[in-house]
Amino acid sequence: MRIGFFDSGIGGMTVLHQALKILPKEDYLFYADTSHVPYGEKSKEEVKQYIFDAVEFIANQGVKAIVIACNTATSIAVQDLREKYDFPILGIEPAVKPAVQKSEEKQKKVLVLATRLTLKEEKYHHLVKSIDHHDIVDSIPLPGLVEFAEKFEFREEKVLPYLQRELSSLDLKQYGTVVLGCTHFPYFTNSLKKLFDKEVEMISGSIGTAKNLERILKERNLLGNGKGDITFFASGTKVDKGTLSKYKNLFGILDQI
Ligand code: DGL
């Protein structure tokens, strides 16, 4: 059986990219809720309904596990989804813990980039409170990056002016680690790096999530014998050939980072 990957849009491909490296012998179903993206700018109640509808659709296709490859959806719904379904449901959250460790060693601060909804949620505040004992974690929402990604617009000349504007109120030299707390953001790593100190580290939760997936499949004896096939759905419809090739090109972009 396949493994389902779910996101509001193409961000989840950054997590699937890591999973394919660790688990190439699995087959995948990737579901982007493109009719309702962006989640990060909507209300919690509205987004929760979209997530439950999408996960029900994915479950009906027959999957052995689902990865909620979206920080926003994880913070809002992962607990409730786990109660509803009996197959493993994995999530992703901003990698604040490793970021704080790394920045403390360098005596620098941490900047968390995520969606507005993720940053507003109790789960995020709880996470930061439990780790940030020296008050070194700042955060800022960057919804424009989700919009750029959904338009497949990754060119630096388009993205950099937006980033410069949004981050202009911060002294970027003080950050040793930047947390890419939205799965749409890793596509923009190279543009982001231009704005920070040379030694800055950009970290996302995607490798950790892929490793977790491997561990859980092993533990439950669910490892497969597939070929790395991926079936793509956009809000319940199989994607057309043009979109399919755009999706597959995303791996090329990620390989260059
Ligand atoms: N990719 C999503 C995340 O990781 C959310 C993007 C959005 O729909 O606003 O948070």
d(CA 171, CA 168): 8
Q: What is the pLDDT of residues 79-97, one digit of tens each?
A: 999 999 999 999 999 999 9
Please name the residues in contact with 24: beta carbons below 8 A apart, sequence gap of 6 or more. Answer: 228
Q: Report d(CA 153, CA 36) in Å as an integer.
A: 19
Spell out the residues 6+ positions from residue 49 whose beta carbon is closer than 8 angstroms to its own.
Answer: none
d(CA 101, CA 93): 16
Architecture of the domain made up of 2-92+206-255: 3-Layer(aba) Sandwich (3.40)
Same fold flag, 2-92+206-255 and 96-203: yes
For the chain, which residues make up each domain, given as ranges? 2-92+206-255, 96-203
**CB-defined site of ligand 1, < 6 Å:** 7-9, 11, 37-40, 70-72, 115, 118, 146, 182-184
Residue 87 CB neighbour total at 10 angstroms = 15
User: Distance from the CA of 221 to the center of ligand 1, in angstroms?
Assistant: 31
Angle 71-84/44-61 helices, nearest 10 degrees? 60
Instruction: Please give the Cα distance from 81 to 186 (Å, whole number).
Output: 26
Tell me, which fold does domain 96-203 have in CATH?
Rossmann fold (3.40.50)
Mean pLDDT across the chain = 97
Model pLDDT for residues 165-214, shown as the tens digit of each residue: 999 999 999 999 999 999 999 999 999 999 999 999 999 999 999 999 99
Whether the predicted pLDDT of 5 surpasses 90: yes
